[in-house]
């Protein structure tokens, strides 16, 4: 099976996901992994699909052209060779939660602190909530960290970086019974 990443961005409209997934079905593609969100009225999706060996990236991208035109999407299909699943050896999953007054640099400070301790960001979501005059920034990050005491050291480092910005941060290891 061939593997492709597919990304699409455009103004949100009903029917986009149905149209995109319809093209995948028509070409015998399996949607293996995806994330989709509406970001301030803009639709954004990223997918990993597997396809029969008879399907290549130009063929798939051409098949999506009518959908992209109909919905005003910027759509890109890219092939890739290796599919890696699961946590890296010697790493364990953690969740980082951050909230506080909105300001420039929150994502950079938290992710830089994670990178310093060997953390790998695997999912990040953020939103502004509350009133327009005093928005609150809310961010959730899923990360893998080296197993053992490194996780606790990372938590301390990330919480310190968040405190410098005046935002609250908590971290916890993702235990199977918590999920």
* pLDDT string in tens for the chain (179-residue length): 899 999 999 999 999 999 999 999 999 999 999 999 999 999 999 999 999 999 999 999 999 999 999 999 999 999 987 656 656 678 889 999 999 999 899 999 999 999 998 899 999 999 999 888 888 999 999 999 988 887 788 888 888 989 999 999 999 988 755 54
Q: How many CB atoms neighbour CB 137 within 10 A?
A: 19
Q: Where are the domains of the chain?
A: 2-80, 91-178
Q: How many CB atoms neighbour CB 7 within 10 A?
A: 14
2-80 and 91-178 have identical folds: yes
- Coil, helix or strand at residue 134: coil
Query: 91-178: which CATH topology?
Result: Alpha-Beta Plaits (3.30.70)
The answer to whether 99 and 167 have CB atoms below 8 angstroms apart is yes
Model pTM greater than 0.85? Answer: no
Name the CATH superfamily, with its identifier, for domain 2-80. ACT domain (3.30.70.260)
């Amino acid at each position: 099976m061939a593997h492709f990443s597919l990304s699409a961005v455009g103004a949100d409209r009903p029917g986009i996901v149905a149209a995109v997934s319809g093209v995948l079905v028509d070409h015998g593609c399996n949607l293996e992994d995806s994330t989709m969100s509406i970001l301030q009225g803009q639709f954004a999706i990223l997918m990993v699909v597997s396809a029969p060996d008879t399907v290549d990236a130009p063929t798939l991208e051409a098949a999506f052209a009518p959908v992209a035109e109909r919905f005003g999407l910027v759509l890109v299909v890219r092939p890739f060779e290796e599919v890696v699943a699961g946590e890296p050896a010697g790493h364990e999953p953690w969740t980082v939660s951050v909230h506080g007054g909105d300001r420039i640099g929150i994502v950079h400070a938290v992710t830089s602190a994670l990178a310093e301790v060997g953390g790998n960001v695997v999912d990040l979501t953020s939103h502004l909530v509350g009133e327009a005059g005093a928005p609150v920034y809310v961010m959730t990050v899923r990360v893998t960290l080296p197993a053992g005491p490194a996780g606790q050291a990372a938590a301390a480092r990330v919480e310190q970086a968040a405190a410098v910005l005046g935002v609250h941060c908590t971290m916890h290891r993702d235990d199977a019974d918590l999920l």
